[in-house]
């Protein structure tokens, strides 16, 4: 059974810092990995998708990497802004394609 751990559970940083969010998984037979952000009381917004054959994806100030051998994915946020404050979730599709396993999230606060 795929288990997904996100560390840290919460993070508070001053504006302008570069930061890394971590996601660890136990089953390396993944199909793809997706990073989401969730604002309080809202749905999930897709940030980046990495297929299992890829190592990383970039979108603006965001960079996500995937290392299946170590069972890790990281989300790098450059020059953080207060608008980046949200909960960040990673999700893996594995097994029979339909199975999606979510991490419990990292709650990020960027202080002006």
Partner 1 sequence: DVKVTQSSRYLVKRTGEKVFLECVQDMDHENMFWYRQDPGLGLRLIYFSYDVKMKEKGDIPEGYSVSREKKERFSLILESASTNQTSMYLCASRDAMNTEAFFGQGTRLTVV
104 binds partner 1 (CB under 8 A): yes
Stretch 34-53: interaction string toward partner 1, x if CB under 8 A: x-x----xxxxxx--x-x--
Indicate the SS3 state at residue 63: strand
What is the rounded CA–CA span in Å between residue 95 and residue 22?
Answer: 22
100 binds partner 1 (CB under 8 A): yes
Q: Which CB sits closer to partner 1, 75 or 89?
A: 89
What is the rounded CA–CA span in Å between residue 107 and residue 42?
Answer: 14
Residue 84 phi/psi, 5-degree rounding, is -80, -10
90 binds partner 1 (CB under 8 A): no
DSSP secondary-structure letter at 42?
Answer: S
32 binds partner 1 (CB under 8 A): yes
86 binds partner 1 (CB under 8 A): no
102 binds partner 1 (CB under 8 A): yes
103 binds partner 1 (CB under 8 A): yes
Site residues, partner 1 (CB under 8 A) = 31-32, 34, 36, 41-46, 49, 51, 89, 91, 93, 97-98, 100, 102-105
């Amino acid at each position: 059974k795929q288990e997904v751990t996100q560390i840290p559970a919460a993070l508070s940083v001053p504006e302008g810092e570069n930061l890394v969010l971590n996601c660890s998984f136990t089953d390396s037979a993944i199909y793809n990995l997706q990073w989401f952000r969730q604002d309080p009381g809202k749905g999930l917004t897709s940030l980046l998708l990495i297929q299992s054959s890829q190592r990383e994806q970039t979108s603006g100030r965001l960079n996500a990497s995937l290392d299946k051998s170590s069972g890790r994915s990281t989300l790098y946020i450059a020059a953080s802004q207060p608008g980046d404050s949200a909960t960040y979730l990673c999700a893996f599709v594995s097994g029979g394609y339909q199975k999606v396993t979510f991490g419990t999230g990292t709650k990020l606060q960027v202080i002006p």
